[in-house]
Amino acid sequence: MDVELIIVASDAGVMNARQKGRELATTVGISGSDLTLMATAISEIARNIVQYAGQGEIEFHSVVRGGKRGLMIIARDRGPGIADIAQAMQDGFSTSRGMGLGLPGARRLMDDFKIVSEVGKGTTILMVKWEH
Amino acid sequence: MPPSATHFPDKFLTLAEMMNISEQEFERRKQYQQFGPEDGAHLQKLASVSENFTYAEDVMDSFAARILRAITVMTRLMGAKVAIAGIQPEIAFSMVQLGLRLEGTMTSLDLEDGIAMLKAADKTNGLGNYGR
């Protein structure tokens, strides 16, 4: 696997992204509860894309670091962007009627997590789950 | 099982909206505990949404948790007691990581335990060991 891309624009897209993530994660040695943790994180960020940007894409890359394989997930959208990332990463903060757990939750569910965003341009989230 | 288009609500409804009554009417009924059979019909509609929902979902993200919570709260408003049974270990793990809580809701390992809890709750205040 080199790169796989899923377009996310609806609830069906959220589900596709999650299932593609599960499928690819098993090929890089991720298993058991890690699969569920990762799928939950994908679900959160994919739903964010649908809710805030309407449409976006999620890329899956297989990566290796220090002899360990992992799955890198890059979620991109050209939505409104996030003005205050520190605030958005706090538990319980939401600009919609959500519970405000999506971003901080996704960070806890994954091993590596990075978010870049510019107001008016969009948001990119990069996250990795490593095999044990 | 290819998950076909699951129908999700376009927006998050308040309990009053789910029951198709005004907020004032909802407050009034809540105050006097006047929920009738027609409210039950609306609840049933909601439950059928949730049925589709569990069919398609393999994770419990914050969106799914919000729907579960709405169903729980609404069921309780009708005077019923609620126990959630059979959450798989890895799902429970990811819920904790995500920061999801089911405060005040009885949870059990399996259906049998759940029913036992509900029966025990009958003898107390309807909340089992919770909410005291």
Q: State whether residue A50 sits within 8 Å of chain B by CB.
A: no
- Per the rule left: phi > 0, alpha: psi between -120 and 50, beta: everything else, A67 is left
The residue with greater pLDDT, B56 or B39, is B39
3 state SS of B123: helix
The answer on pLDDT for B129 being more than 60 is: no
Of residues B48 and B35, which shows the higher confidence score?
A: B35
What pLDDT does residue B70 have?
A: 85
Mean pLDDT computed over every residue of chain A: 92
Touching A: B residues 27-66, CB under 8 Å:
56, 58-63, 65-66
Per-residue pLDDT tens digits for A36-65: 999 999 999 999 999 999 999 999 999 999
**Stretch among A1-15, B3-17, B60-74 having the lowest mean pLDDT:** B3-17
* Sign of the dihedral defined by the CA atoms of residues A94, A100, A102, A103, in that order: positive
- Cβ pair A105:B97 closer than 8 A: yes
Instruction: State the DSSP code for B12.
Output: P
The beta-carbon neighbor of A47 closest among B3, B61, B91 is B61
Q: Which residue has the higher pLDDT, A3 or B4?
A: A3
Give domain A3-130's CATH superfamily: Histidine kinase-like ATPase, C-terminal domain (3.30.565.10)
Question: Nearest CA to A102 among A122, A75, A78, A120?
Answer: A75
Break chain A into its structural domains and give their ranges. Answer: 3-130
The contacts of residue A89 (CB under 8 Å, 6+ apart) are A103, A104, A107, A115
Share of chain A above pLDDT 90, in %: 82
B5 CB neighbours in chain A (<8 A) are 11-12
Q: b vs e for A53-71, b when ≥16 Cβ sit within 10 Å of the residue's Cβ?
A: beebbbebbbeeeeeeebb
- B12 interfacial to chain A (CB closer than 8 Å): yes
Least Cα distance to B97 among A77, A113, A60 occurs for: A113
Phi, psi torsion values for B8, nearest 5 degrees? -105, 150
Determine the distance in angstroms separating the CA of A68 from the nearest CA of chain B, rounded to an integer.
23
Structure ipTM over 0.85, yes or no: no
Task: List chain B residues with CB under 8 Å of A106.
Answer: 98
Q: Which of A22, A32, A43 sits opposite B61 (nearest CB)?
A: A43
Query: Is A39's Cβ below 8 Å from some Cβ in B?
Result: yes
Strand pairing of A122-130 and A68-77?
antiparallel
Is the minimum CB–CB distance between A107 and chain B shorter than 8 Å?
no
Q: What is the pLDDT of residue B35?
A: 66
Check pLDDT > 70 for residue B75: yes
Q: Can you give the pTM of this predicted structure?
A: 0.74
